Amino acid sequence: MAPHAPVLRISRGDASPPGFEAFPVIDARWDDAAEAIANVEPVAVVAFDPHEAGPRLSAIAAQIAAIEPYTPLIVVNPAPDAELAFGLPFMAPGGDLSRLQARLSAALRVRALHATVLRRSADAGLQQTVPAGDPLHDASVLLLGRGASFPGLSIAFGERLGVVGGFSIEAAARHLNARDFDGIIIGDGFSPRVVDAFLTVLSEDVRFRTLPAIAVGSAAAFVTPPALANYESLQLPAPEVAALALPLIRQHAFEARLERALLSLEAGGTLDARTGLLAPAPFQRDFTAATAEALARGTSLSAARFVIEPAHDRIRHDAARILGRLMRKTDFATLDDDGSILVVLTDTDLRTANGIVRRLASVLRQTPHGLGRDSRVDPAVTLVTLLPSDTVASLRARLMPQDQRAAS
């Protein structure tokens, strides 16, 4: 991807770092970097020699993070405790910059996606289509390992986002097919050959080519860097691994938000950008229309309500996205204002609906959403079918628990 605006390259100035053959580049020193960012309006910033920046690095990172559309900041060989905001680390042992263009191209695709969402939002007269807040609140990573590093990594990452554990490559494959992740952390317990093969499979699948993949521990030193734009090999303590990996994970989670926002815009704003399901108001409109049509035609219609426990927003949104992937094309759903997930099964009688709902609930139960006691959900499910005397109001009322029905 060759941008029209330049990439700003910041260094100490005694020699221009190599690379960037595919991009127009403007050079700046750390002393005038903030002014150059304001004047040049670069599509991306790549910072070398961050140890020369001192406290200016965090100020520049904050300056860039405030720019719209998203402007990636890539910092070459940052310290693990560097304040990068949305800045992306790029570790270049021995000065190897061969993977830098791939990292930059992947980040620029996120910028292009953000620009598209902003433009289409303005055309539609919408103020906010991308959910606010830190994208890490939505993020989940897959943590693989069966060695001494696993507990420390699970704590370091679990403090900031959702972590799903796996003790084998086979478990990793199952998890990757069942749900979306924003990063993969590969800890101790696997041979370099196994890690190499796993990373090669990831790099050959278009779904995972920009997925952050972090190899940690003894095997990492012997792994051949795969063709993954956001791969890093880190032989550091768990807190420092997390500090360097989180910006890459945040960018991927932000990209996922943008993709859902774009789908919502293409659907005329009827989809919830956080879950990909219908927003509550369009859902109610479609539910009313489907109920009236089923009554007029004398066809079947069923509806189910999934109550997700534990009642954590990230887990609820996670479960909603999983259900969205599993539903039939003819069905529709929403994450309701009370936190439950409502699913309408069109042209479906009670017996068929019962089988569908049991399969959906089974997948939710078997899909981990974290580590420890909160790793799985056990949804409480209510299923109803349309009766000749029903209205959409009575159908929805029968989906509610007995105590809520009595209160209403």
User: Where along the chain do its domains lie?
Assistant: 1-127, 130-261, 275-407
Task: Summarize pLDDT for 224-266 with one digit per residue, the tens.
Answer: 888 899 999 998 999 999 999 999 999 999 999 999 999 989 8
Which residue numbers in the chain have pLDDT < 50?
A: 1-2, 373, 405-408
Task: Summarize pLDDT for 333-357 with one digit per residue, the tens.
Answer: 999 999 999 999 999 999 999 999 9
CATH architecture observed for domain 1-127: 3-Layer(aba) Sandwich (3.40)
Task: Summarize pLDDT for 271-314 with one digit per residue, the tens.
Answer: 998 898 999 999 999 999 999 999 999 999 999 999 987 667 88
Contacts (Cβ under 8 Å, ≥6 apart) of 73: 44, 45, 46, 47, 60, 61, 64, 65, 84, 85, 86, 87, 88
Asked if 241 and 274 count as a contact pair (C-beta separation under 8 A), the reply is no
Per-residue confidence (pLDDT) for residue 408, from 0 to 100: 44
Per-residue confidence (pLDDT) for residue 1, from 0 to 100: 47
| CATH code, residues 275-407 | 3.30.70.270
Asked if 241 and 213 count as a contact pair (C-beta separation under 8 A), the reply is no
Per-residue confidence (pLDDT) for residue 285, from 0 to 100: 96
Buried b (16+ CB within 10 A) or exposed e, 35-54: ebbeeeebbbbbbbbbebbe
Pick the CATH number of 130-261 from 3.40.50.300, 3.30.70.1140, 3.40.50.2300, 3.30.1330.10: 3.40.50.2300
Domains 1-127 and 130-261 share a fold: yes
Per-residue confidence (pLDDT) for residue 82, from 0 to 100: 77
pTM confidence score: 0.88
Any idea which residue has 């938000």 for tokens?
257
Any idea which residue has 């929403």 for tokens?
334
